[in-house]
Amino acid sequence: MAAVCILDEFEVHKNEKFLKIAEELKPELHETVIRPEKLLQFKRHLKVERKPDMHETVVREEAYEELAKKQFKKDDQIVLDFGNHQVGYVTMKLSAAGSHQDAPAYIYLKFAERPEELEADPAQYDGWISKGWLQEEYIHVDTLPAEVKLPRRYAFRYMELKVIDVSMKFSLVVDDVSVRAVSAVREEDVPPLEIGDPLLEKIDRVAIHTLQNCMQDVFEDGPKRDRRLWLGDLRLQARANYQTFKNYDLVKRCLYLFGGMTFNEGKVSACLFTEPQLDPDDTYLFDYALLYSSALLDYYEETYDEEALKDLYPVAIRQIEIGLGYLTEDGVIPDHSNEFWCFADWGEGLNTQAASLAILIYSLRYCINLAKHMKDAECVQRMSVWEEKLKKSAVDHYWDEEQQLFVSGEERQVSWATQIWMILARVFPKEKNRELILHTIDVNPRIQMVTPYMYHHYIDALIRSGEKERAIDEIKKYWGEMVHDGADTFWEVYNPYNKYESPYGSLMVNSFCHAWSCTPTYFLRKFYTGGREEE
Sites of contact with ligand RAM (CB under 6 A): 221, 226, 230, 232-233, 343, 492, 516
> What is the smallest separation between the CB atom of 220 and ligand RAM, expressed in angstroms?
9
Measured in whole angstroms, the distance separating CA 257 from the mean position of its chain's CA atoms is 18
> What is the smallest separation between the CB atom of 214 and ligand RAM, expressed in angstroms?
10
Q: Are 55 and 18 in contact (CB under 8 A)?
A: no
How many CB atoms are located within 10 Å of the residue 218 CB? 26
> What is the smallest separation between the CB atom of 516 and ligand RAM, expressed in angstroms?
6
- Sign of the CA dihedral running 135, 285, 453, 401: negative
Give 230 or 286: the residue with its C-beta nearer to ligand RAM.
230
Strand partners, 406: 399
> What is the smallest separation between the CB atom of 515 and ligand RAM, expressed in angstroms?
6
Give 135 or 171: the residue with its C-beta nearer to ligand RAM.
135
* Alpha-helical regions (H) of 48-178: 54-57, 115-119
Measured in whole angstroms, the distance separating CA 20 from the mean position of its chain's CA atoms is 26
Give 89 or 230: the residue with its C-beta nearer to ligand RAM.
230
The DSSP call for residue 43 is: P
| Secondary structure (DSSP) of 287-320 | HHHHTHHHHHHHHHHHH--HHHHHHHHHHHHHHH
**Residue 382 neighbours by CB under 8 Å, 6+ apart:** none
**Residue 347 neighbours by CB under 8 Å, 6+ apart:** 415, 417, 447, 448, 449, 450, 454
What is the residue type of 516?
W
In angstroms, the CA 104 to CA 138 distance is: 12
The DSSP call for residue 96 is: E
| Residue 426 phi, psi dihedral angles, 5° rounding | 55, 45
- When CB distances to ligand RAM are compared, the closest residue is 221
> What is the smallest separation between the CB atom of 399 and ligand RAM, expressed in angstroms?
28
Give 3 or 164: the residue with its C-beta nearer to ligand RAM.
3
Give 346 or 478: the residue with its C-beta nearer to ligand RAM.
346
Give 81 or 226: the residue with its C-beta nearer to ligand RAM.
226
In angstroms, the CA 357 to CA 86 distance is: 40
Q: Are 514 and 214 in contact (CB under 8 A)?
A: yes
> What is the smallest separation between the CB atom of 346 and ligand RAM, expressed in angstroms?
7
Give 512 or 516: the residue with its C-beta nearer to ligand RAM.
516
> What is the smallest separation between the CB atom of 494 and ligand RAM, expressed in angstroms?
13
> What is the smallest separation between the CB atom of 457 and ligand RAM, expressed in angstroms?
13
Phi/psi zone of residue 423: left (φ > 0), alpha (ψ -120 to 50 degrees), beta? alpha
Give 233 or 282: the residue with its C-beta nearer to ligand RAM.
233
> What is the smallest separation between the CB atom of 213 and ligand RAM, expressed in angstroms?
14
Give 296 or 493: the residue with its C-beta nearer to ligand RAM.
493
Nearest to 259 by CA among 300, 309, 211: 309
